Amino acid sequence: MDLNYSPEEESFRQEIGDFCRAELPPAIAAKVLGGQRLHKQDIVGWQKILHKKGWAGYQWPKAFGGCEWDATQQSIFDEEAALHGAPRLLPFGLKMVAPVIMAFGNREQQERFLPRILAAEDWWCQGYSEPGAGSDLASLKTRAERRGNHYIVNGQKTWNTLGQYADWIFCLVRTASEGRKQEGISFLLIDMKTPGITVRPIITLDGEHEINEVWFEDVAVPAENLIGEENKGWTYAKFLLGHERANIAGIGASKRELVRLKELARATLSGGKPLIEDARFRDRIAQVELELRALEITNMRMLAAEKEKRTPGPEASMLKIRGSEIQQTLTELMMQAVGPQALPFLFEAMEAGWQGEPVGTDGWAETIAPLAPSYFNYRKVSIYGGSNEIQKNIISRIVLGM
């Protein structure tokens, strides 16, 4: 197998880099490269720039307004955009619910929702997990009762990411109780402005309002917002989860953070010896770099399978496990690279333009200050999208038949 890029692919990489240098707002890039807090307008603004270029749906089929780039092009774009400091595109619309609508929605739903997702006119969030139904998602209890032309939804969703900004939520709801618990689940699209919806914040360990509880009290949802068939939602949910777990891998962002780690390890902080001179620490950097390269190859295999219209298999779970572990390792090594200067946990330092007490020396204060919040935040990546322990069970069932 030749792992080198062809001249055409290198030309494509240059095109992506040139576009990012010309069109990515420097203020947004500075936030991403500095590990600082992004706001809604940063993420939406970048997607609108890509949409104007015709690149927002680079994974989408051309029939739905996408670029239909092949696996290598997608990988090159993710890596190059991340290295230039582009925000990661919000996955809930583009990479999660959109493929479900394409595969299982009717033409009216496709024409109604997909163009608005592509243009960043609607912000989507996910309604899957519930108290008592996280890793065991099929135990969900949120109910939707059909009354005429509407479903009346009652229940609670939790660990909902960025729902405070959302225009729409895609939800798994229980529409029947007979048979196995995986049966009787349906997939609904719900307007977040509908009366009866309450969003309550959950503040995470790093002090951020990133996740929420979402409550539904007699929420009337038009029956036309049902995806596919009633009581067949578990099939669509599994299809979506394959895309979610692959997206969690975050290979492009991890490559960017690997560069940042090496810069920190080479720095002389407070007159001390650069940690890159320590052989054991160099070994750890080399190990995570090799693991990231292997993950990239697995990701390209999965992207190729998607292009052939094959449902994601065990590769999706593998990507989720190793991708999340690599992200956590990178934050841990960055904390080690700066030593005691990584101890302060400054919530305010995550904001661009922070002018507080300096942390660190030798011009590294702005880089060091967000490290602790990032470390705390990345503890969650091995849990959401289905915990890594659950993913190992999935792999054993698919590969070993256990």
pLDDT of residue 54: 95
Structural domain span for residue 326: 249-400
Are residues 298 and 346 located together in one domain of the fold?
A: yes
Please report the pLDDT score of residue 356 as a whole number.
61
46, 181: one domain: no
Do 302 and 367 belong together in one domain? Answer: yes
Picking from 125-129, 152-156, 334-338, 353-357, which range would have the lowest pLDDT averaged per residue?
353-357
Residue 49 resides in a domain: yes
Q: Are both 350 and 294 inside the same structural domain?
A: yes
Q: Residue 130 pLDDT more than 90?
A: yes
Is 214 in the same domain as 263?
A: no
What pLDDT is attached to residue 63?
Answer: 95
Q: Which of 89, 107, 141 is the last residue of a domain?
A: 89
Residue 322 placed within a domain: yes
Specify the pLDDT at position 93: 95
**Residue 362 lies inside a defined structural domain of this protein:** yes
pLDDT of residue 368: 77
CATH code for the domain of 286? 1.20.140.10
Nearest by Cα to 44 from 78, 82, 89: 89
Average pLDDT on 23-48 reads 93
Is the residue at 236 inside a domain?
no
What is the tens place of the pLDDT at every residue in 158-206? 999 999 999 999 999 999 988 888 889 999 999 999 999 999 999 988 8
Q: What is the mean pLDDT of residues 25-33?
A: 94
Kindly tell me if the per-residue pLDDT of 243 is higher than 70: no
**Count of domains for the chain:** 3
For 256-301, how does the pLDDT look when each residue is reduced to its tens digit (9 = 90+)? 999 999 988 888 765 567 888 889 999 999 999 999 999 988 887 7
If you write DSSP's letter for every residue of 72-116 in order, what string do you get?
A: HHHHHHHHHHHHTTPPPPPHIIIIIIHHHHHHHS-HHHHHHHHHH
Q: Which of 67, 58, 118, 56 is closest to 93 using CA atoms?
A: 118
**240 within a domain of the structure (yes/no):** no
Q: How far apart are CA 65 and CA 142, in angstroms?
A: 34
CA–CA distance, 165 with 104 (Å, rounded to integer): 26
Closest CA to 328 of 293, 281, 374: 374
The stretch 355-383 carries a mean pLDDT of: 73
Question: What global pTM score does this model have?
Answer: 0.85
Residue 99 falls inside a structural domain: no
Position 313 in a domain: yes
What's the pLDDT band for 137 if we cut at 50, 70, 90? confident
If asked whether residues 19 and 159 sit together in one domain, one would say: no
For range 228-255, the mean pLDDT: 83
From 196, 231, 266, the end of a domain falls on: 231
| Residue 217 sits in the same domain as residue 257 | no
227/278 Cα distance (integer angstroms): 56
Pair 78, 153 in one domain: no
Residue 358 has pLDDT above 60, yes or no: no
Does 145 share its domain with 212?
yes
Same domain membership, residue 265 and residue 360:
yes
Residues acting as catalytic residues:
244
pLDDT of residue 385: 73
Q: Give the β-pairing of 168-174 and 124-127.
A: parallel
Q: Average model confidence (pLDDT) for the chain?
A: 88
Same domain, 260 and 385: yes
Would 103 be classed as within a structural domain?
Answer: no
Same domain, 272 and 298: yes
